[in-house]
Each structure stands twice: as C-alpha cells, then as structure tokens.
Amino acid sequence: MSVYSDQSAREILSVSDYSYSVQNEILEGIAISRDLRLDALSVDVDLPGDPAYDSLDDYVAGKIPEGFGYLLRVCNLGDVNDYCKMDPIIFYATLDKDVFVEEVVVSAEIGEGGDATYSPKKVRLFFWEGGFPEGYCRDDCIAGGSPLFCSSDFLKVLRSECGNFDSDPCLEYGASPVVEEVCGVSESCAGGVCVPNVLSKRVCRERSYVVCDVCAETDYYPALCSGYDGGFESGDCNGGDDDEYSCWNFAGSWESACALPADLPDCPDTLSSCDNFILYDTAVSTIVPCACVPTIWLPSVDDFCSGTLFVQTSNCGTTRDAVGTKNCGGCVETEWLPSTDSVCLGSSFVQESNCGTTQNAMGTKICPTGYICDSATNSCEPAVAVLSASYSNLCKNCGSPPPGFTGGNWWYYDVTLSETGGDVGVTVNSRQKCDSGSITPLFCSTQTDIVAKFGSNYIPAGGSLVANNEWLWTDEASWTKSETYFGVDGNSNAVSDSYSFTVN
C-alpha cells in the first residue's frame, strides 16, 4: 500500500514522527539555503545527469538514515503533464511498504536584487522504511544525454556517453569519455566548448652548453653526450677523421605573465655561438592558455558569522582565505591569534579569537630561499646544504681502453654530486682522491679541477652535477679508489661527502 500524506494529515494517517522529522529537516534545509534553492530552481530534468538535480540529490542522500529508501522529485509548479508522482519502477518496488510524502514549494531566489531567479518548483520527497529491494537500480544519466566538459589541459572538448554498459537494465555513463572536438591553436576549452584564448602565457626553456665544439673520435661521441639532455654533431675535424660535437642540459625555464596573445613577449633570441653558457631555446617555446579565470568562490561569505575565517574554493579549483559577513549577534569574531603566517607552513595549531573562542588552524609561513622554518620556534633559520657524492655504472673492460693503458683491466664509471637537502645550493671547491692496490700502498692527492670535470662547480638546491666516463686501470689483483668532495653552501657552511669502491 502507498500512503500519500502532507503535514496537515500527519496525525489522521498516523505517519511516524521519526519519518516526518527526517523529511521535514531535509526539506527545511533546502528551503533556507540559498545554494540549494538555486539548485531546485535550476533543475531542468529531475533525473541523475542534470547537474542541479545531482547537487540536490547528493544533499538528500547524505541525510537519509541507513535502512530507509527515498525518491526525490523536482517538478515545475502547475505542470498539467506532470503531477510529481513516483516513477513506475519505484512504485511497483514499494507496493508492500508504507510510503510517506512531504513537499516544499520553492518559488524564487531574490539574490542581491539584480540576479533574481523565478522558476517555481515543487520539491517532493518520498520516504519509506526498508531501503531498496535487492537487484534494484536507477538510471545514473538521462537517455540520449551526453554532457560536454573540458580535458584537464583545456585543449579538448570531451563527451560522456549515456547508455547501458553493464549487466543491469539501468543507464550509466561509459567508463571513458569521447573526444568531441580538439580546440584550435588559438583556442582553449571553457565550459565544454572551444573558445578563443583570452589570456595566454609564453614559456621558454633554457639550454646550458656544458661541452662545446670539442673534437673527438667519431665512435666516442655518443657515449660522451649520453649523460646530458641533448647533443649534436657540429662539424668535422682532423681532416674529417673525427667529429666536432656539443652537449647541453636544460637549465630551467622562463615564462611570461598572462596577457593577450598580441602582448606576449618573445623568447630571447638564440645566440649563434654555443661559447655562451646559457641559451634560450626558442625551438621549444610554447604558448600555454590561461583558460580558467576564477569567477565563483564557495562557500559564500554570508554563510559564516562576521569575522569568521574560512577557506573558499573557486570554479578553477584554487583556494583563498575569506572572512564571514553574516550577522550572528553577540560578540563578533574579527581577529584570530596567532596569525597563520606566523606559524611554519603545514604546522597545526590552535587560534583564539577576540571573543575567546578557539579554532584549529594550519600555518602558512614560508621562509626566504636558503632558510628553513623551525617548527619549535616558528623562526627562519639558515639552512645547511646536504652534499652527496656517489658513483654508478661501473663497467669492466667496456669500450676502448683509457689513455695510458699498458695492461691488465680497466673500468669506466660515472660520478654524481648532489644537494639533497633542497634548501640551499653548494659551491664545490676541491676533491681529495685516494688510491691503493694489492701491491701499491695508499697514496692521496688534492685536486681543484671541479669545473673541468663537471662543467660547473655550483650545485643548486636539490640539483646535481654528473661527470661521465671517469676511468681507472690496473694490472694488480685489486684496486681501491675513494674520493672526498669539499664545498661551502650558500650560508657559508662547510660540507663534504665521499664515495669508495674496490675492483678486482
């Protein structure tokens, strides 16, 4: 039996107080919330797939107790073709249950006066005990409906297809979206359509030539540039018997501020000679659309009491701090101490307002480059670099013997110097290398050839330097090699590190 009731008939029809209180709480929440009223007024088709209906339905689903079922209808007020009844599937599935019905009318949203919305709707909630029958399903989208949306890079329009893609009889969206349109060179996707790029930014990449116009054996060139981001043959030398080559690494990038396409600056010209240390590589210059401009920030400031601090999220997914403006009476919270920018980033703490209330907060303080925030004192202290020296790719008797080889075995290997602390750079000034063999006693020497070996003696914070194809040879049964590198970081702290290995 299906029992239809309203508030006035509640006692006559013996509607459960509990059922009524749940329905009334849900409908009252819709009636008093500006955002939910706008959702109700914006519903086009009250089925999953309609964004406004989905928003309302998510709110209702979060309020329904476990063990109960419900159906939400949102109907145009006075529609002679729709009496806001249960759909046939649910009607027949609940014939053996007592179904209770409550409703509220949402007629208009005045807003600020200039953005009033008038599209009166009846919001009706069907409610029953026992949940949904086993095997019951409901359409997740509208037949023939295929909403369009933008790809994450804003360069394509995608479409979600609505159909029956599984074993149940109900409709759902397909697992993978379909590319509806690829936006043009001067376009980006916004709101599910390709539109002309309003704002863009230009990105230029820098190349640092660490090896330049050096003559070497033809079959030796690929190995020498294999440890770099790129390289090329720049000509012939030694009468054409050998190749002249250059190797380079990407050194970073430079990008402009967002601007109209006509106002975007060009990348600096590529210099004709690689004798210069840094070059801008216009060949990999790109224009990136600034497609999303924050225009909507939620939740609204009038949802929070005046002076209350909270975080808003924009339509672009960015966040910002905001202060409530709602008049809640009594003491108005206008100040919270300590401020978030006085506490280290990521540290949780408790703030107290001028009204004596408290709230949990998260620190946002960021120290200048080269300094770290001490969580115990929330002060910025000079960082100490972490220098790491290591070897890799040790290869016995690989390729051609190294210079001076007279017999025995030889090894090639790579040496990497890294700053692993990530806070401050290091200038490496010298190295001490030590060798000993099964016959030869330990002998050491100090060298200052860091730039010659690595192309630079400066390691930026979190960066590294690599020397490829280092070598040794010996005719003894075993040989041990170690190196210790010494440097000074950007805060004048002495740092060092070593590596060692034995070959036989």
Q: Give the predicted TM-score (pTM) of the model.
A: 0.36
Q: What does the buried/exposed string (b/e) look like for 264-277 if buried means 16 or more CB atoms within 10 Å of the residue's CB?
A: beebeeeeeebeee
| CATH code of the domain occupying 387-503 | 2.60.40.1470
Mean pLDDT of 387-396: 96
Task: Write down how long the chain is.
Answer: 504
Bridge-based pairing state of the strands 99-109 and 200-216: unpaired
* Nearest alpha-carbon partner for 55 in 69, 74, 68, 70: 74
What residues contact residue 82 under an 8 Å CB cut-off, 6+ apart? 75, 76
Determine the pLDDT at residue 445: 94
Mean pLDDT of all residues in 96-124: 74
Span 356-383, average pLDDT:
90
26's tokens:
């849900």
Q: Say what the pLDDT of residue 114 is.
A: 46
| DSSP string covering 194-258 | EEE-S-EEEEEEEEEEEEEEEEE-GGGHHHHHTTSSEEEEEEEEGGGTEEEEEEEEEEEEEEPPP
Name which of 48-57, 181-190, 219-228 the model is least confident about: 219-228
Query: Mean per-residue pLDDT for 196-218?
Result: 73
User: What is the rounded average pLDDT for all residues in the chain?
Assistant: 81
Tell me the CB-side half-sphere exposure of residue 423, using CA atoms within 13 A.
17
Confidence of residue 206 (pLDDT cuts 50, 70, 90): confident
Q: Between 466 and 257, where is the model more confident?
A: 466
* 466 pLDDT above the threshold of 90: yes
- CA dihedral (217, 223, 229, 234) in degrees, to 10, reads 10
On the question of pLDDT at 54 being above 50, the answer is: yes
Q: Where are the domains of the chain?
A: 7-129, 148-196, 200-289, 297-382, 387-503
Task: Kindly give, in sequence order, each residue whose CB lies less than 8 Å from that of residue 315, ignoring residues fewer than 6 positions away.
Answer: 292, 294, 295, 296
Predicted local confidence at residue 59, as pLDDT: 93
Confidence of residue 292 (pLDDT cuts 50, 70, 90): low
- The closest alpha carbon to 436, from 478, 387, 399, belongs to 478
Average the pLDDT over 82-95 and give the result. 78
Please give the average per-residue pLDDT across 248-277, as a whole number. 68
Highest mean pLDDT among 49-63, 180-194, 359-373, 421-435: 421-435
Non-local CB neighbours of 306 within 8 Å, separated by 6+ positions? 323, 324, 325, 326, 327, 328, 332, 333, 334
pLDDT at 501: 96
Q: What is the pLDDT of residue 3?
A: 37
